Amino acid sequence: MAGFDVRKPLVGWVNLIHRRRGVGTINCHVADGTEGYPENSPYGRIVTWRTPARLPRL
């Protein structure tokens, strides 16, 4: 399984957490999700999410 994010520090942190917890089936990469990650294609399924830069005030 592969994960992607455009922020290198976040990808490094996530990979470190996975290794510390013994999760060897997930590898995260620095990449633009709109471009995909051809090295791991074809994909069986794709899951996406988006986090807003700022949360709205209520």
Q: Which is more confident, 20 or 55? A: 20
pTM reported for the whole predicted model: 0.64
Q: Is the pLDDT of residue 8 over 80?
A: yes
Cα–chain-centroid distance for residue 53? Answer: 17
Residue 11 — φ and ψ, nearest 5°? -60, -45
Buried b (16+ CB within 10 A) or exposed e, 2-28: ebbbeeeeebeebbeebeeeeeeeeeb
The residue extents of the domains of the chain are 2-39
What is the residue-averaged pLDDT of the chain?
A: 80
For the stretch 9-28, pLDDT in tens is 988 998 999 899 999 888 88
Lowest mean pLDDT of 4-8, 18-22, 25-29, 34-38, name the range. 34-38
pLDDT of 4:
80
DSSP string, 3-46: EEES-HHHHHHHHHHHHHTT--S-EEEE--TTT--GGGPSPS--
